[in-house]
Amino acid sequence: MSPETADWPTARLCNFIVELDFEQIPQRVVHFAKGLMIDWLGSALAGKGARQVEMIDGFARAMGPADGSSTVIPTRRCTSPYFAAMVNAAASHVVEQDDVHNGSVFHPAAVIFPAVLAVAEAEKKTGREMLTACIAGYEAGIRVGEFLGRSHYETFHTTGTVGTVAAAAAVGKLIGLDASGLNHALGSAGTQAAGLWEFLRDAADSKQLHTARAAANGLFAAYLARDGFRGAAQILEGKKGMAAGMSSDADPARLTDGLGTRWATEETSFKWHASCRHTHPAADALQSLMRREGLGPDDILDVVTHVHQGAIDVLGAVDIPQTVHQAKFSMGTVLGLIAVHDVADLDAFEHHALADARVSRFRSKVRMAFDTEVDSLYPKQWVGKISVTTIDGRKLAARVDEPKGDPGNTLARQELEAKAIRLAEFRGGAAADGMRRCIARIWNLDQAGSVVGIFAEL
């Protein structure tokens, strides 16, 4: 049952990861991955001081060592790789600005970069080794998410479940596991995979717990495999594996789809608005309609957003948001921010999402309706489709096929850098100057001898 010679999908995925060589990865994919890293670093810094992050960091301080090789990014204190990965992953997802892959509905950066960076610092890996490992994590994690399908995402928070496997794949690559070892690592990761959407109805803090656990548990699985700890060979596709327990529409062919020719990494979307990705297509469509027609918020009687079922499942839980975080899952609030302030970034959420009566008024004008066409395109394509009735009785419509930040409508280098710097400054995580220097280092990461000190400029 050695994956080198075996032919089950997980084994083939493991072989791909082990054989992945930096020189074989197209330069545009490497460049794209650097952009993802810059974007992620902004998100991790923006998590500074967030209540949930402070509490998880408090636990890490109480239970972990007081120093170590790996940087807790928001504060730059050092501890062991396990706890650095845990706290950084918690921080990365707080402001809902980290990347997302449409087809898998998976947020790769929030779990992969924290796990890989923490280990890369500890084991003094080069920039190329680190980038290769991150790309391995994206390629594997995205395919695992696609494999588990839409039924998985209905109840499970894919970034928590699949994220555990992705982090194990990435760290396993970084520490040089062979195909058999990597298969064991995925086995130990998949059997730790967890994360339920139930928290969303209560505005609970579980999302940060999910990313924290995914990164740390994936790292744990890879380290255990290095020591010879055995995991299930077919934790993904086996009879009692993840798909058997947590999906009703899993497709094992997705696990190996286009390995080495299709680069899933570069299909990842940058998030432009600071809200749940399910709100973005409609937000872009409303913005385009209001600009086109020259409408203000008070000109609009009601808005129907024609959405896929996943949007209703995730956003339907939030009626009147009680917290800023919950507001990011309120379609009405996001559209209200766009309508009233023409922007739904972090500052807009902080200052206007809950307190601005014009935004709440607009919120009550918005409803979601299931749309067969939008649903049939999802999750490969996230189409924004809205109908608007104006106060003066006109019926208007707008459609956006690729929301801003999607691969076909991606951020320009300047937009990407500006967003990361804005995020770094948001809670004083890092000053603009230091962030600019760190960004420059990341663009040159494939020339770096070792990643140690990579955060020294911050």
Alpha-carbon span 62 to 413, nearest angstrom: 40
Identify whether the C-beta of residue 257 lies closer than 8 Å to the C-beta of residue 139.
no
- Selected from 220, 263, 349, 382, the binder of a copy of itself by CB under 8 A is 220
Please report, for residues 61, 77, 84, 85, 104, the alpha-carbon distance to residue 66 in angstroms, rounded to integers and kept in the order given: 7, 9, 11, 15, 37
241: contact with a copy of itself by CB under 8 A: yes
3-state secondary structure of 77: strand
Please report, for residues 1, 14, 223, 263, the alpha-carbon distance to residue 228 in angstroms, rounded to integers and kept in the order given: 15, 16, 9, 31
Please report, for residues 35, 247, 288, 368, 398, the alpha-carbon distance to residue 300 in angstroms, rounded to integers and kept in the order given: 38, 41, 14, 16, 14
Least gap, CB of 304 to a copy of itself (angstroms) = 24
Total residues contacting a copy of itself by CB under 8 A comes to: 65
- Selected from 16, 40, 106, 197, the binder of a copy of itself by CB under 8 A is 197
Closer Cβ to a copy of itself, 200 or 327, answer by number: 200
- Selected from 58, 258, 260, 408, the binder of a copy of itself by CB under 8 A is 58
Closer Cβ to a copy of itself, 298 or 319, answer by number: 319
Closer Cβ to a copy of itself, 127 or 231, answer by number: 231
Binding part of the chain for a copy of itself, among 107-115, 173-181, 234-242, 280-288 by CB under 8 A, reads 234-242
CA dihedral 61, 95, 104, 246 (to 10 degrees): 50
> What's 385's DSSP letter?
E
- Selected from 87, 169, 175, 235, the binder of a copy of itself by CB under 8 A is 235
- Selected from 238, 252, 407, 434, the binder of a copy of itself by CB under 8 A is 238
Q: What is the Cα Rg of the chain in Å?
A: 21
Binding mask 75-114 for a copy of itself (x = CB under 8 A): -----xxxx-------------------------------
Considering only residues 165 through 184, tell me which ones interact with a copy of itself, judged by CB under 8 A.
184
Considering only residues 300 through 319, tell me which ones interact with a copy of itself, judged by CB under 8 A.
317
- Selected from 213, 278, 363, 365, the binder of a copy of itself by CB under 8 A is 213
- Selected from 195, 336, 379, 405, the binder of a copy of itself by CB under 8 A is 195
Closer Cβ to a copy of itself, 368 or 388, answer by number: 368
Least gap, CB of 137 to a copy of itself (angstroms) = 19
Number of H helices, E strands in the chain: 19, 8
Please report, for residues 47, 71, 75, 426, the alpha-carbon distance to residue 44 in angstroms, rounded to integers and kept in the order given: 5, 12, 11, 11
Q: Are strands 77-79 and 100-101 parallel, antiparallel or unpaired?
A: unpaired
210: contact with a copy of itself by CB under 8 A: yes
Binding part of the chain for a copy of itself, among 63-71, 258-266, 366-374, 386-394 by CB under 8 A, reads 63-71
Please report, for residues 196, 232, 234, 335, 390, the alpha-carbon distance to residue 238 in angstroms, rounded to integers and kept in the order given: 22, 9, 5, 43, 54
Alpha-carbon span 169 to 189, nearest angstrom: 9
- Helix or strand (DSSP H, E) at 302: strand 300-307
Write out the two tokens for 260: 């080495």
Considering only residues 336 through 355, tell me which ones interact with a copy of itself, judged by CB under 8 A.
none
Residues at the contact surface with a copy of itself, assessed by CB under 8 A: 1, 51-52, 55-56, 58-59, 62-66, 80-83, 154-156, 160, 184, 187-188, 190-206, 209-210, 213, 217, 220, 223-224, 227-235, 238-242, 244-246, 317
